Structure 1
Amino acid sequence: MHAAAAPALGPGRVTMAPLVAFSDAIAAVLLAADLVVVIGSVLARSLFGAPVEWSDDVARGLMVGSSFFGAASAVARGENPGVEFFAARLGTGARRRVDAVAAVLTVLIAAYVALNAFKLGWMTAGQTTGSGLPLEWTFLPMGAGALFMTVFALDLACRRPLRELVEVLVAVAAVGGVFAAWSAVSPDTMPPAGLLMGLGFVVALLGGLSIGFSIALSALIYIWLDDYLPGVIFAQQMARGIDNFVLLAIPFFILVGYLMEANGMSVRLIELLQRMVGRMRGGLNVVMVLSMVLFSGISGSKMADVAAVGAVLVPAARRSKQDPGQAVALLAASAVMAETIPPCINLIILGFVANLSIGGLFMAGLIPSALMAAALIGVSVLFGTKAAIAADLIPEGGMRRMWIGAIVSLGLIAMIFIGFKSGFATATEISAFAVLYAIVVGAAVFRELSWRALARSFMHAATRSGLVLFIVAAAQALAWVLTLQQVPHALGDAMVALSQSSGTWLFMLLSIGILIVMGSVLEGAAALIIFGPLLVPVATQLGIDPLHFGVVLVIAMGIGLFAPPLGLGLYGACLIGHVPIERTVRPVMGYLGLIFVCLLLIAFIPVLSTGLPRLFGY
C-alpha cells in the first residue's frame, strides 16, 4: 500500500501531533457512543418491548462523523492506500513532482468536501429526520471531519519544497483555466465527460493519488464540467454512501479484530492450532490457512486478519528456515479464500449496494470458502516440508489453558452465527454484541485488556474503518455519476445481448474478469460498490441466482485485490511480513491460480453456493 503524498516525517509532524490525537479521540469516542446506542437499543427492544425510535438515526449520524474523523487521521499518518507500482519507477525528480501533484489534489478534494458538507448542513438547518432529529447533525460532523482532513493534507503538502508547490499550483490552475475557457468558448467541441472522468481517474491512480481520492476526483470532474450540478450534491452523495445502519457492522467487526489482538484471543487461537497440527508435514502452512479461517469468522476485516496471523506466523516461518516470501504468498491467498467467510465486510457491502440478503450471502459463502481452504491445505501438505515442525516453533504451555482460550474465542463465532439464524438481531446489532463479548468475556478470562489497550483498539478501529468507509462514500458518489450517464443501463443491455447470443457462461466469465481487474486497480469495496449494482440485476435477469453470483463476484474481487503487481492487499501483506513484493510474485501466482480454478468450479456448479441458503430458508 502506498501513502500518497506522504513525505518523510519532519518538524510539521510535531506541530500536528496534538491535532491528530484530538482527531483520533473524536473518532474513537463517536465509535464508542455508536456502540452504546446500538446495544442499548437492542436491549430496550428485547427486554422491555420499548423500541428506541431515534436510535437508527443517531447511530448513522455518529458513524458518518466517526468515519470522516478516522479518515482524517489516516490522511495525517499517510495511511491511505494507493497504487505505487508505476510512480515508484519514475526518476527522483519526476517522482517528487508527481507526489506534489497528489498532495495538492488531496488538499483540494478534502477542502471541497468540507466546504460543501458545511453548506449542506446549513441548507438543511431546521429540517428533521424521520424520528425528529435535526438533519444537519449528519452533515456538520462530516464537514468537521473533512476540515481536519484538509488541515492534515495541507500540512503534508506544505512540508514539500516551496518551488515544487508553486509549480504544481500553477500547473493545476493552468489546466483548470484551459478547460474553463474551452467550455465557455466552444462547449460543443469539449471531450465527453465520461472520457475525461476515466482519464482523470487512471492518471491520478497511476500517479499515486490514494484510491479514495482518485475515485472522488473522477466524480468531481463530471460535477465541475456540468454547470447545473451544485457541489453540495457531491457531499450529499458521499454522506448517502455511508449513512446506512447496515454499514455500521463494518467498524464494529473491525473493532472485534483489534480487541482479539489486544485481549490475547488471537495468540491463543494460533497457539492451539500450532499444537494440534503444527507437527504434520507442512504444518506451519496448514496452521496459517486454518488461522485465517477462524479469524475471518470473527473480525470480518481481511487486513486485520492478515495482520494478526502474519505477525505471528511469518516470523515463525523465518525461524524454521522457510522462504518468508512463500509464507506471505500463502497468507495473501488465504485472505482471498477467507473473502466469503462470514462476517466478511465485502459481503456486507455487496449485500447493501445490491439489495441482497446479508444472512443469505453469509450462508452462500461457507462451502466455497471450505473448498478453497481444502485446496490450499492439500497443496501445503503435498508440497510441504518437515522444516515447519522444529521444536521451538511449537508453543509451550498447558493444553487446558489453550483450550479455554479457544473455546472463549470460538464462542464469538457461535454467537455471530446463532444471532443470524435466530433473527434476534441484524448484522449490525450482532456485530455490536460481538464487540461487547470481546471486551467483557475476553478481558475477564484472559485479563490482558487494559484501559489503554481498549482505547487504542477503538482508535485503530475508527481509523481503519474510516479508510474503508471514505472509499465507500467516494465510490457511491461515482456510482451516482455513472447512473446519471446511464452507464448501468448501457452495460446491462450489452451484457444481456452478449449472453443471449453466446450463453450465460460468457457473462459469468466476463463478470469474473471485470472484478479481478477492477479489484486489482481499486480497493475491494470500491469495485463492489461500482460494479455490484451494475452486474447483479443483469445476472438475475439471465436466471443466475443472485446469492450465487454475489459470492462469485466477491471471490473474483479478492483475487484481484491480492494479485501482483497492483493488488493493494498483496502490498499490505508484504508490509506486515516485511518481505519485498518481488519475493512473493511467483509463489502467489501459483496459489492464486489454484484459487482461480476453485472459483471456476464455484461459478459453474451453483449448488456449492446455493445449497446452504436454500437449506436455511434464504
Structure 2
Amino acid sequence: METRGIANRSVREWVSSFPACILLLAVVIFSTGSDIHNQMLKMGEQVWGGYYKLRMDPQLPTCDANFNVEQRVQEQLLAEKNKPDDDMDLFADDPIDPAILRSSLENAKADCSAKYTEFEQLKDRITPGVKAFRAVELFVSDLVAFGLTSQRFILALLVLLCAATATMTRHHIAMRSMQTQLDHTVSFTLQFVANSMLLVSTLSFRALSHSGGAEVELSKEILHDLWIAGFGLLTIISAVKLFRVPADIKPGGKLSHALLSVPLYTTMCLIAGTYFALAGHVAGIGIYLDKMMDLSDMFLNVGLYVWVGMMLKETRLASLVFNVFKPWKMPPEMLAVVAVIAAAVPTAYTGASGIFVIAAGAVIYHELRNAGARRQLALAATAMSGSLGVVLRPCLLVVVIAYLNREVTTDQLFGWGIWVFLLTAGLFMVVSMSVNRQSKIQLAPAGEAFPAMIREFKHLVPYILVVAGIVLFYRFALEVRMDEFSAPRVLPVLLLGILLYEHITLKGGKKSVSGEINHQGLEKSIRTATNETTSEIGALLLLIGCSVSIGGVIERSGMMEMFPHSFDSPWGAMALLVIVLVILGMIMDAFGAVILVSATIATIAYQSGIDPVHFWMVTLVAFELGYLSPPVALNHLLTRQVVGQEEVELALQEGDTFYQRHERIIMPLIVMGIALVLVAFVPLAVGY
C-alpha cells in the first residue's frame, strides 16, 4: 500500500506538479522579462546613442539622389504645357510655379541624399557588438510579447490542471470533509453533474461564438478548446472517482452530512447552471468564465501568491519569527494577538485573507499550539490571520478595486486602510485579552527576556540580508520598487532565494537551531511546496470562477434592481448595504465579489451620498466578516483544510461553556462585527 502511495505521488508530481511549476515559473519569467527588457533598451541607448534605429538592419533607400533638378523642372513644365485645355473644368489645377517646383525637387533630392547618408552611417555603426546585444534584446522582446499574449492560456491550463488534481486528491473546498461512503457517493455524483454542466456550457458557448457564420480569432478558438477538453477531463475524473471508493472511507453516513461534503464550487455551479438552463442561456457559465480571462493577470497573481505561501511553509522563517517572542513567555492570548498582527504584513503581500490562510495558516496554528495555545484560540487566530492585512499596501484586492473604480485610488484606499488596520488590531487585542482569557498576564523579566530575544533575532539576520539583497537588486538593477504591482513577480524570487540560502547553510539538516525544522533540500522543498500548491490553486481558482458565475446570476436575475438607485439618507443606505455586503462575503470569494459590487452596488452608494473611499473600506471589512460568518465561513473552511479535520474535531471537545466550545467562531465575529459597525457609521456621524 505504501509503495503504491509513493508511486501515485510520483506520477502526480510529473503529470500535475511539474507542469504547474513550469507554468508558475513562466509567469514570473515573462513578467520579470519586461523589466529586464526595459533596462536593456536603456543600456542600448546609453552605449549606442539612437539604439532604437540599430535594432533592425537599415534598408537601402530606393530614391534617386543624383537626378538633375533643372532637367526634372523642364520635364514637368513641358508635361503641364502639353495637357489638353478644358475650360469647363472648375477644379483644374493652377499653373505650376517653376520656382516652387524647383524648390520642392531640391528638397526631395536633399532628403534622399540624407537617407543614403544615414543608411551608410547606420550600416557602419552595426558592429558585431551591436549585433550580439540586439540579438539578445530582440529575443527578450519576443519572449515578453509571447508572455503577454499567452496569459489567458496559462491561466486556463493552470485552472484546469490544478482543478483536476484537487478532484483526484479530494481537496476541493467544502463545509465538511468526506468521511463516509454516502459522503463520497453524494459528493462525486454532484461533482459529476456540475462538471457536466461546465462542459455543456463551454460547448454551447463555442457554438454560440460560431453562430451566424462569424469568424472567431484563433486565440479564442484555442481557449474554447482548452475549456472543453479540461471540463471533459474533470467530468471523466469525477465519474471514475465515484466508482472508486477509497479504503479509508467509513461505511454508512447521513444525507445531511453528505450534502455538506459537496465542494462549494459544485454548489455554485449547480445553482448557476440550473438558472442559465431555465433562462434558455446554457452558455452562461462559459461566458462568465471567459470574462474571468479578461483579468487573467490578476488571477495568475493569485496562483503565484499561493505558491509563495507554500514555499514559506518549507522555510524556517515563521518558526524563527515566533522564537523571537518566546523569551517573553507571553500568555497564549497575547501571543495570538502578536501572531495575527504580525501576519497582517504578509497578508497584504498575498492579496486576500483566504489566500494567506491557505498559504501560512498551518504554520501559525502549529506555532501557537507549540507555544501552549488551546485549540479553539489557535483556530480563531488562524482564521483571522488574514483578515487584518487586506487593507494594507500592497494588497492585490485593493489594487483590483482601484482598477475597476475610477472614483478611488490605491493611495487613498491604503491611506485609510492603515486606520482600519489599527482599529481591527486594537479590537482583537481587547477581545482576546478580556473575553475568556484563561492565563495570567505575567511576562518574563526584561533583563532575562531581552537578551534571549536578541539571540533569537540573530538567526533572522541572514534572512533579512537575503530579502534586502533581492529587493535592492530589483530596485537598482531593474528599477523595480517593491509595491502592489511588482510584489507578485518579486515574492517568488524572494522565497526561492530563502530556500537556496537554507539549502546551502542547512545541508543535511544537522545544524541545531532553536525552532528549526528539518530542511529537506532545495529541490525537495520546491517539489513539496508545488505539490501542495497545485491542489490549493485548483480548489481556489475553480471556486473563484464559479463565484464569478454566481455574480452573473445575481446581476442577470434583476435582484439588484429591487434596490432603489439611491437613498435619501446615507444612514439608511449604509445600513442596507452593510447587510448585502456581508451576505456577499458569505457566499462569494473576494475577487468575484469585488467585480459584482463594482458593477452594481457601488453606484447606489455613491448616489446616496456615501464617499467612495468610505464605501470601499466598509466593503473590505464586511467581506472579512462574511468570510468568518456561518453557515459557509470560508476562512474557517480553509483553516480546517490546512490544519486537518482531526484538530477541529478535537477543538469541539474542549471547554465547558458554549463560548469556549465555539470560541473559534464567536471571537472573530465579535471583533469584525464591532469593527464593521464603527467603520460604517462613525464616519457618517462625524461628517466624513
Shorter-chain TM band: 0.7 to 0.9
Contact 2:627 2:635 in 1 (8 A): yes
The answer for the alignment partner of 2:439 in structure 1 is 385
Query: Does 2:500 align with 1:443?
Result: yes
Question: Are the equivalent residues in 2 in contact too, given 1:340–1:366 (CA < 8 A)?
Answer: yes
Over 3 Å counting, the alpha-carbon distance change for 1:152 and 1:226 in structure 2 is same
For residues 156-198 of structure 1, what are the alpha-carbon distances to aligned partners after superposition, in whole Å with 9 as ceiling and x for unaligned? Answer: 222269xxxxxxxxxxxxxxxxxxxxxxxxxxxxxxxxxxxxx
Which residue of 244, 266, 270 corresponds with 1:159? 244
Q: What does residue 506 of structure 1 align with?
A: 572
Letter of the 1:60 partner, please give it.
R
2:374 to 323, 326, 332: 323
Offset, 1:557: 1.5
Tell me what 1:585 maps to: 662
Residue 212 of structure 1, CA deviation = 2.0
Residues 596 and 575 from structure 1, CA distance in 2 versus in 1: closer, same or farther, beyond 3 angstroms?
same
CA offset digits 1:99-146 (Å, max 9, x no partner)? 354243234234335645776899999854xxxx83334333333333
* CA distance in 2 between partners of 1:412 and 1:465 (Å): 26
Aligned: 1:209 with 2:262: yes
Q: Number of residues paired by the alignment?
A: 541
Query: Which residue is equivalent to 1:102?
Result: 190
**C-alpha separation in 1, matches of 2:557 and 2:222:** 31
2-side partners of 1:204 and 1:108: how far apart? Answer: 24
Matched with 2:25 is: 32
Cα separation, 2, equivalents of 1:293 and 1:258: 17
Q: Aligned in 2, Cα 1:320/1:507: closer, same or farther, shift over 3 Å?
A: same
Q: Which residue of 2 aligns with 1:298?
A: 349
1:150 alignment partner, one of 235, 255, 262? 235
Segment drifting more, 32-41 vs 99-108: 99-108
Instruction: Give the letter aligned to residue 256 of structure 1.
Output: V
Q: For residue 143 of structure 1, what is the amino acid of its counterpart?
A: I
Q: 1:297 to 1:104 in 2, by over 3 A?
A: closer
- How far 1:475 moved relative to its partner? 2.8
Q: 2: distance between equivalents of 1:409 and 1:321?
A: 31
Residue 457 of structure 1 pairs with residue 529 of structure 2: yes
SS for the counterpart of 1:218 is helix
Gaps spanning 5+ residues in structure 2: where? 43-136, 247-255, 505-518, 655-660
Structure 2 CA distance for aligned equivalents of residues 398 and 95 of structure 1: 47
1:72 to partner: Cα distance: 1.9
* Structure 2 CA distance for partners of 1:508 and 1:538, relative to 1, 3 Å: same
Shift of 1:240: 1.8
Alignment of 1:174-573 (within 5 A): 208-227=261-280, 229=281, 231=283, 234-244=285-295, 245-275=297-327, 278-279=329-330, 282-303=333-354, 305-306=356-357, 310-318=361-369, 321-348=372-399, 350-351=401-402, 357-358=409-410, 360-381=412-433, 383=437, 385-386=439-440, 398-406=456-464, 408=466, 427=484, 429-440=486-497, 443-444=500-501, 447=504, 450-488=522-560, 490-491=561-562, 494-497=563-566, 499-500=567-568, 503-573=569-639
Q: What secondary structure sits across from 1:335 in the alignment?
A: coil
Match of 1:193 in 2: none
In structure 2, C-alpha distance between the alignment counterparts of 1:148 and 1:446, rounded to whole Å = 38
The question of whether the paired residues in 2 share the 8 Å contact of 1:67 and 1:463 is answered with no
Q: Secondary structure at the match of 1:263?
A: coil
Q: Is the 8 A contact 2:190 2:266 kept in 1?
A: no
> Does the 8 Å CA contact 1:72/1:152 hold for their aligned counterparts?
yes
After TM superposition, the structure 1 = structure 2 runs for residues 13-32 of structure 1, keeping only pairs within 5 Å, are 18=11, 21-32=14-25
Specify which structure has the higher proportion of helix.
1
Q: Secondary structure at the match of 2:459?
A: helix
Distance in 2 between residues matched to 1:340 and 1:158, nearest whole Å: 46
Residue of structure 1 aligned with 2:34, choices 12, 18, 41:
41
* Partner deviation per Cα, 1:575-613 (whole Å, 9 max, x = no partner): 5441336455245313421322122222234499x99xx
Alignment of 1:90-129 (within 5 A): 98-99=186-187, 101-112=189-200, 115=203, 127-128=216-217
**Whole-Å separation in 2 of the counterparts to 1:402 and 1:149:** 44
- The 1:102–1:160 alpha-carbon spacing in structure 2 relative to 1, beyond 3 Å, is farther
For residues 265 and 318 of structure 1, do their structure 2 counterparts lie closer, same or farther at Cα, with a shift above 3 Å needed?
A: closer
Q: Does 1:134 align with 2:219?
A: yes
Change (3 A) 1:16 1:278: closer
The worse-fitting range, judged by mean Cα deviation, of 530-539 and 403-412 is 403-412
Q: Note closer, same or farther for the CA distance 1:550–1:559 as it changes in structure 2 (3 Å cut).
A: same
Preserved CA contact (<8 Å) 1:252 1:435: yes
Report the 3-state secondary structure (helix = DSSP H, G, I; strand = E; otherwise coil) of the residue aligned with 1:152.
helix
1:14 and 1:414 map into 2 onto residues whose CA distance is: 43
Map of 2:88 onto structure 1:
none
Output the CA distance in 1 between the equivalents of 2:304 and 2:185: 39
How far 1:338 moved relative to its partner? 3.0
C-alpha distance in 2, partners of 1:148/1:371?
47
For the aligned residues, what is the CA RMSD? 4.5
2:73 corresponding residue in structure 1? none
User: For residues 17 and 143 of structure 1, do their structure 2 counterparts lie closer, same or farther at Cα, with a shift above 3 Å needed?
Assistant: farther
Structure 1's 160 and 282: CA in aligned 2 closer, same or farther, altered over 3 A?
closer
Q: What's the CA shift for 1:40?
A: 0.6
- List runs of 5+ in structure 1 lacking aligned partners: 1-8, 162-202, 612-618
Residues in 2 aligned to 1:117 and 1:273: alpha-carbon distance in whole angstroms: 56
**Structure 2 CA distance for partners of 1:274 and 1:77, relative to 1, 3 Å:** same
TM-score, length-scaled by structure 1: 0.73
Structure possessing the higher relative contact order (Cα contacts under 8 Å, 6 or more residues apart): 1
- Cα contact 2:182–2:258 (8 A) shared by 1: no
Q: Take 2:623 and 2:666, find their aligned partners in 1: how far apart are those partners? A: 15
Q: How many Å apart are 1:474 and its aligned residue?
A: 2.2
Q: Which moved more, 1:15-24 or 1:427-436?
A: 15-24
Q: Report how far residue 432 of structure 1 moved.
A: 0.7
- Determine the C-alpha separation between the residues in 2 that align with 1:236 and 1:424: 37
Query: How much has 1:41 moved relative to structure 2?
Result: 1.8
Change (3 A) 1:444 1:313: closer
| TM-score normalised by length of structure 2 | 0.66
Q: Are the counterparts in 2 of residues 270 and 291 from structure 1 also a CA contact under 8 Å? A: no
Percent of residue pairs bearing the same amino acid type: 17
Paired letter, 1:377: M
Other structure's SS at 1:135 match: helix
**Residue 31 of structure 1, CA deviation:** 2.0
Which structure has the greater CA radius of gyration?
2
Cα gap change, 1:319 to 1:594, in 2 (>3 Å): same
Amino acid at match of 1:405: Y
